[in-house]
Amino acid sequence: MKVLFFAALRETMGRSEIEIVLEAPTTVGALKSMIKLPNGETLNAVSRTQSIMAAVDQEMVDDLAMVSVASEVAFFPPVTGG
Amino acid sequence: MKVLFFAALRETMGRSEIEIVLEAPTTVGALKSMIKLPNGETLNAVSRTQSIMAAVDQEMVDDLAMVSVASEVAFFPPVTGG
Amino acid sequence: MYRSILIQVEDFSLDAALAELKMQSGLAGGLCFFTGAVRNSNLDEAVGGLYLEHYPGMTERQLDQIVDEAARRWTLHGAMVVHRIGHLKPGDNIVLVAVSASHRGEAFDACEMIMDYLKTNATFWKKESIPDGYRWVEARSSDEAKATAWDA
Amino acid sequence: MYRSILIQVEDFSLDAALAELKMQSGLAGGLCFFTGAVRNSNLDEAVGGLYLEHYPGMTERQLDQIVDEAARRWTLHGAMVVHRIGHLKPGDNIVLVAVSASHRGEAFDACEMIMDYLKTNATFWKKESIPDGYRWVEARSSDEAKATAWDA
C-alpha cells in the first residue's frame, strides 16, 4: 500500500511517498506507529504534539479508520487553502 | 422652481419637467395639490391610489417637507434598480 | 478607502474592476463582486429587453451615501458601483458592486448590503418589454425587507 | 445545475467565468464572485510570495462535495471553483468562487459557504516566503468557526 505525505509533513519526512507492505488490514493509528521520521521518531509520537490529519482512499478519517492492504493513505497538516 | 417627473409618472404627466412659480415656501403635500395631470386629476389625488415618492433638492422627503421658491422637487414611483 | 461610482450606458468588466481595486486600494485579501443581469422572464411573462432610467445627480449621491454606510460598518479597502442605464437585452449586465477588504466576511457582507440598499434606495427605474408591449417594473416588498434587515 | 471545478497553475478571468455561467447555466439574475488574492504581509511579517500545493484527486473530490452541499441548500443555476497552485506573488489571484442563482441572496450565501468550506475542508497548503526564509501557513481557528457556523 501507498502512504503519501504533504506540505510541512512531506518536508519533515524528506519524501512525498512510501510503500508499506501490510500483511493484514490495520488501523490508521497503528499505521502511524509503524511510520518513522528520519530522526527515528514515529509519526504517532509526532502527532501528540502537532496536528496531523489522515485520509484513506482520499476521504478524511480518524485514527480508528481501517486501512486495507491496497489502500492509499495520506498524512498531512491542517489545510490552509483559499 | 423646477419639478421633475420620472419613469411611469413622467409618462403619465406627458413631460419630464415643469416650472412652477411659488410666491412663498410651501410643503411637498401642498405642491402635489397644485400639480395637475393631463386628465385634470391632481398629483395629490393620484397619490392616494398609487405610491409616489418625493425628493426635494435630491433628498428623499415626505409630504410635510418644505419646498423653497428655488427648490428642485422630483416625484417618481418606488425605485426598481439593481 | 478607494471608491468609484459610475452610472453609464456602457458595459463593465469584472477583471478591470478587480485590477482597479488591487491597484487603488492596496493588497486586500478578499474581493467580492456581485453582478445583476437581465433575465428573460419576469412574473411568468417573457421579457424581451429592459429600459433603465435614473435621476441624474441624485442617484450618484445616494450610491455615495450607501457606500458611506458600508464603510461605517466594515473595514473596507475599496468599493465600486457601476450601474448601467438605457436599453438592455436579456443576459446583459445591469449592475456591478465590487468590494475589497482584508477579511472575506467583510467583503461579502458589505457587497450584499450595498446591493440590498441600492435596490430600495437609489433612484433607478426599469421598464420591460413583454409580448403585449411595455410595463414598468414594480418595487418588491421582499427587496424592502432585505434592505431593512441590515438595521436589525 | 452547471458546475466546473479547476485546480490550475494559470491565472483565471472573472469576465470569462461570468460569460461561462451565463452561457451554461441559463439567464440567472444574480451572480456572486469571490476572489482571494495574495497579501503582502501576514502575522506582521512581509510576505514575498506564496507556494501552494494540493493533494491531486482528493482536492477535486472535496470541492465537488462542497458544491454538492451548496446545491442542496440553495437553488443554484451554476457554480465554479478555480484554485491556483504553485508559486504566486503578492497581489496574484489565488482562488475564484463564482455562483449564479435566480435570487441574489442565494448567490451571496452559496458563494460564501463554498469559500468557508474550501478554507477548512479542501487539501491545499500554503507556504510563504518571509524575510527569514519560508514558513508553512498555519490553519486558523477563525476559519474553522466560520465553516461550522453554516451548520448552526
The pLDDT of B3-16, averaged and rounded, is 97
Chains D and C touch (3+ CB pairs under 8 A): yes
Measured in angstroms, the CA of D146 and the nearest CA of chain A are apart by 13
Hey, where are the domains in chain A?
A: 2-76
The three cell numbers of residue C41 are 422572464
Q: What is the pLDDT of residue D62?
A: 98
CATH number of the domain to which C114 belongs: 3.90.1170.40
* pLDDT tens per residue, range D14-69: 999 999 999 998 778 899 999 999 998 888 899 999 999 999 999 999 999 999 99
Q: What is the pLDDT of residue C60?
A: 98
Distance CA D68, CA D81 (A): 12
Residue A63 vs residues A34, C39, D2, D72: alpha-carbon distances, Å: 13, 51, 37, 30
List, in sequence order, the alpha helices (H) in chain C. Answer: 14-24, 58-73, 104-121, 141-149
Residue C152 lies in a domain: no
Residue of C nearest to B72 (CA): C58
Number of domains making up chain D? 1
Residue of D nearest to C110 (CA): D108
D35 contact C CB<8A: yes
Mean pLDDT rounded to a whole number for chain D: 96
* pLDDT tens per residue, range B31-60: 999 999 999 999 999 999 999 999 999 999
Q: How confident is the model at residue C44 (pLDDT cuts 50, 70, 90)?
A: confident
Q: What is the pLDDT of residue C28?
A: 85
Distance CA C60, CA C38 (A): 22
Q: Which residue has the cell 478607502?
A: C1
Asked if residue B64 lies in contact with residue B27, where contact means CB atoms within 8 angstroms, the answer is yes
Q: Which residues of B41-55 are buried (b: 16+ CB within 10 A; e: fewer)?
A: eebbebbeeeebbbb
CA neighbours within 13 Å on the CB side: how many for C137? 27
Residue C41 lies in a domain: yes
- Give the residue from C49, C46, C69 showing the smallest Cα distance to C121: C69
Distance CA B65, CA A32 (A): 76
Q: What is the pLDDT of residue C27?
A: 78
Measured in angstroms, the CA of D29 and the nearest CA of chain C are apart by 5
Q: Which residue has the cell 491565472?
A: D11
Mean pLDDT rounded to a whole number for chain A: 96
Measured in angstroms, the CA of D35 and the nearest CA of chain C are apart by 5
Residue of A nearest to D120 (CA): A79
Which of C125, C127, C135, C144 to mutate: most B Cβ within 10 Å?
Answer: C125
Q: What is the pLDDT of residue A35?
A: 97
Asked if residue D134 lies in contact with residue D127, where contact means CB atoms within 8 angstroms, the answer is yes
Q: What is the pLDDT of residue D114?
A: 98
Distance CA C38, CA C50 (A): 7
Cβ-defined contacts of A36-41 (< 8 Å, 24+): A37/A12, A37/A13, A38/A12, A38/A13, A38/A14
D57/A82 Cβ within 8 A = no
Measured in angstroms, the CA of D111 and the nearest CA of chain A are apart by 13
Mean pLDDT rounded to a whole number for chain C: 96
Q: Which residue has the cell 411637498?
A: B28
Q: What domain range includes position D122?
A: 2-147
The pLDDT of A63-80, averaged and rounded, is 97
C104 contact D CB<8A: yes
Chains B and C touch (3+ CB pairs under 8 A): yes
Q: What is the CATH number of domain A2-76?
A: 3.10.20.30
Nearest CB to D94 within list A55, A79, A82:
A82
3-state helix, strand, coil in chain D (%, to 5): 35, 40, 25
ipTM of the complex: 0.95
pLDDT at A68 over 90: yes
A17 contact D CB<8A: no
